[in-house]
Structure 1
Amino acid sequence: MRKETPAFAKTPPTVRLVEVDAEHEGQRIDNFLVRLCKGVPKSHIYKAIRGGEVRVNKGRIQADYRVATGDIVRVPPLRLPDPGQPKPVPGIEFPVVYEDEALLVIDKPAGVAVHGGSGVSFGVIEQLRAARPDARFLELVHRLDRDTSGLLMIAKKRNALLALHAMLREGKGDKHYFALVEGDWVNDRQHIRLALTKWTTQSGERRVRPDPDGQPAHTIVTLQQRLGRYSLVDAELRSGRTHQIRVHLAASGFPIIGDDKYGTDETRAEFVRRGFNRMFLHAHQLTLPHPLTGETLKLVAPLPPACQKLLQQLESQ
C-alpha cells in the first residue's frame, strides 16, 4: 500500500538560479545569500560556498566575491535549522536619530554587536532585518565595537551604500566620539598619528597595536573636561581603522575607562564597583553630505544615562 504524503508536508529544497538585479550590484556573495535564504545559518551558507555548491555564471567563487548586475547565481538546496537549533533572530528596533528612503541612523546601545559572528549569533543588522521583513535592502555602512555606543549608519539603498563607502574612503564627513580616559590629558588639542596593524592572540582574540609598517591612522583629540585623575575628551576620526581610538589613546598613556582589551584591569574593576560596567566610548556626532542629495547632515546622539551619571559622580568628588 502506497504511503500518502501529508498535504502539510514541506516541499524539499531544490536548486535555484537567481539573477542579480541592479539593487544588489557590488554586494558580497555571502551577504547576498544571507538575505536570499532567510533563516538558514551562516555556517551552512559558508560551507556551501567552500564546497563549490554555490556558483556564479557556472563558476566557483569565494565568499568575498562581489556580485554584478546580470550574474546568475546557483543557489543549492539549503535547509533551515532543525527544531533543536537556536531560535530565529528577534526583531528589534533601535532609537532612530535620522531616517529617509536611503539612510537609517540609529543610536546603538553599548553591549550589542553590529552583526553576528565571532561567538555572537546575531547583531543590530540581523535584528533590524527581522523587525523590518518588508525592507528590500538594509546594510551596515560602517562598524562600531560591541561595547561602543552611539551613531551607526545603515543604508537602505545600494547606491546610498556605495556613495557612503566612497565618502568614508575619501575622508569626507566628520565622526566624533566622547571618551573618558585615565589620566590628566595635557594638550587642549592633539593629533595622534600612529600606524596600526591587526594581530591575533593565542586564544584567537583579535587585537590591534601600533606598528610603523601598519596602516596609517589619524585621530584628533580635544580636551572637554578635567575630572581629577580622569579626562573627558572628544576623539575625531580622520581614518577608520579597527579599534583606532582605543589603541591611539592607550598608546598615548590614556586608556579608555572600561576598555577590556587595552585598559587596565584595576581601573575597570574600580569603575565596576561604582556601578559602571561598560566602556566609556560613545559616537556622539556625525556630519556628512547626504549620499543622494548632497545636503549636509549633522546628527547628534547624547551621552547615555550611565555615562552622564558617572561624569556627575566624578564632578562631585
Structure 2
Amino acid sequence: MKALSSSPSVQWIEVDLEHAGQRIDNFLCAHLKGVPRSHVYRILRTGEVRRNGGRVQAQERLAAGDRIRLPPLRLAERAPGLAPPEALRARLEVRILFEDDELLALNKPAGMAVHGGSGVSLGVIEALRELRPRARTLELVHRLDRDTSGCLVIAKRRTALLALHEQFRGPGVEKVYLALLTGRWAHRRALVDAPLQKNVLVSGERVVKVAREGKPARTEFRRRECYAAATLVEARPITGRTHQIRVHAQRLGHPVAGDERYGDERANREFRRFGLGRLFLHAARLTLRHPRSGEPLRLEAPLDPELHHVLTLLPR
C-alpha cells in the first residue's frame, strides 16, 4: 500500500498486491486507525471515497493498482485508557504460542472478546496491534467465543490471511477442544449431527438452537475422564458454526459446565463450589499447514490453571 500524495484536504492511496482482493470497507477500517467504523461506512455511502475516479460500494473488493481517494479526515484523539494497560500487555505476551513473519498464535484468555464492539472497547486483536505496532497487517483468521480460552490464530500478512481462510473453509484444519460436561456421560464416543440456526435477539445477543432449517453442523465428542457428576471430553468440531460445541453438548443432554446460556443453572451452582467461575471450554489444539512453507503446524494451548484446579477438586 503506497500513499501517492496527501494534504489537509485529500489523500490518495495505491493498492498493492498484499491488499488485493480485500473488501474496501475492511481495508479502510484497518488503514484509517482512529476513525470510527460508522464514519468509514458513511463516507463510502455518500460517495466521498472514490476508486479510480468512481464511486465504490462497501462490499466491493480491491485490485492491485487501484487508486483510492480519501476525503479530509480528522483522526480521533486516542481516548484515555484505550491502549491496553501494562498488565494486559504482559498477560498477552506470555500467552503467545507461536510467532513468525506470517502468523501469530495466542492462548486467548477467557473473558476477553476477540475484537472490540458491542460495548467492548478493547479486544484481543486491538491489544495485539498495540503490542506489534510495526506489523502492517494483523487480522483474525477465526474466532473464539468471549468465554472460551485457547488457540487463536492471527495473520500478519494479507497473503497469509487468505491462505489460512482457505484452510479453515476446508477439511485441512483439525480443532480439538477440552470441555467439562455436566453429569456422567455413559458413552466413549459420539457424533452429533444436528443443523444449527442462529437468532439475534433485540438486545443483540446471539442464541443458537438445533433446527431442521438450520445450517449443517457436526461435532465429535470423545470421553477422557469421568467424575462423580461430570465428564471431561475432547470435542472436535467438523463444521464451524456459532456456539456449535455448546449447543451440541446440550443436545447430548450434558451441557458444558459453567455455560450460563445453554447450561444447567442448578449444576452450575454446584460447579461454583469447586471454583468454576467461567465456561469450561478450552481450544486445546489446532493443527494446520503453515501458509508459506506448507509444513504441518501443531499449536497446543495448555489448560488454564483455574480449570486444572477445578479438575483436581471434583469428586470421582
Fold shared by both chains (TM-score > 0.5): yes
Please tell me whether the aligned partners of residues 217 and 239 of structure 1 are also in contact (alpha carbons under 8 angstroms). yes
Q: Which residue of 1 aligns with 2:73?
A: 78
Aligned to 1:16: 11
Identity of aligned residues (%): 51
Distance in 1 of aligned mates of 2:55 and 2:83: 30
Secondary structure of 2:283's partner? strand
Is contact 2:255–2:263 with CA below 8 Å preserved after alignment?
yes
Q: For the residues of structure 1 that align with 2:286 and 2:176, how far apart are their CA atoms?
A: 6
**Residues 76, 307 of structure 1: alpha-carbon distance in 2 compared, 3 angstrom cutoff:** same
**CA distance 1:299–1:82, shift in 2 (3 Å):** closer
For residues 18 and 128 of structure 1, the distance between their equivalents in structure 2, rounded to whole angstroms, comes to 25
- What is the number of residues matched between the two proteins? 305
- Equivalent residue, structure 1, for 2:196: 196
> Offset of 1:231 from its aligned partner?
0.7
Contact 1:39 1:88 in 2 (8 A): no
Q: 2:245 corresponds to which residue?
A: 245
Deviations 1:70-93 (A, max 9, x none): 22222222323367x554332734
One-letter amino acid matched to 2:140? L
Distance change >3 Å, CA 274–CA 216, structure 1 → 2 = same
1:34 to 29, 32, 44: 29
Q: Which runs of 5+ in 1 are unaligned?
A: 1-10
Shift of 1:301: 0.8
Match of 2:229 in 1: 229
Q: Does structure 2 conserve the Cα–Cα contact (< 8 Å) formed by 1:97 and 1:300?
A: yes
- By how many angstroms is 1:227 displaced? 1.0
Residues 44, 78 of structure 1: 8 Å contact kept: no
1:188 touches 1:222 (CA, 8 Å); kept in 2? yes
CA distance in 1, matches of 2:45, 2:277: 40
- 2:182 is aligned to 182
How far apart in 2 are the matches of 1:166 and 1:198? 23
Q: Measure how far apart 1:243 and its partner are.
A: 1.0
Contact 2:217 2:239 in 1 (8 A): yes
Cα distance in 2 for partners of 1:61, 1:161 equals 24
Q: Which residue of 2 aligns with 1:160?
A: 160
1:212 offset after TM fit, Å? 1.5
User: Could you report, residue by residue, the CA deviation over 1:136-178 in whole angstroms, capped at 9, with x for unpaired residues?
Assistant: 1111110001110000001112221111111111111210000
Residue of 45, 49, 57 corresponding to 2:40? 45
Structure 2 partner of 1:4: none
CA distance in 1, matches of 2:98, 2:179: 23
Q: Is the 8 A contact 1:13 1:79 kept in 2?
A: no
Q: Distance between the aligned counterparts of 1:90 and 1:31, measured in 2?
A: 23
SS at match of 1:160: helix
Runs of 4+ displaced beyond 4 Å: none
1:90 equivalent to 2:84? Answer yes
Moved more, 251-260 or 219-228: 251-260
Point out where structure 2 has 5 or more consecutive residues left out of the alignment: 1-5
C-alpha displacement of 1:13: 4.5
- Distance in structure 2 (CA, Å) of the matches to 1:12 and 1:61: 22
Which segment is superposed worse, 155-164 or 32-41?
32-41
State how far apart, in whole Å, the 1-side matches of 2:181 and 2:22 are.
38
Q: Normalising by the residue count of structure 2, what TM-score does the alignment of the two structures yield?
A: 0.89
Contact 1:114 / 1:124 at 8 angstroms: preserved in 2?
A: yes
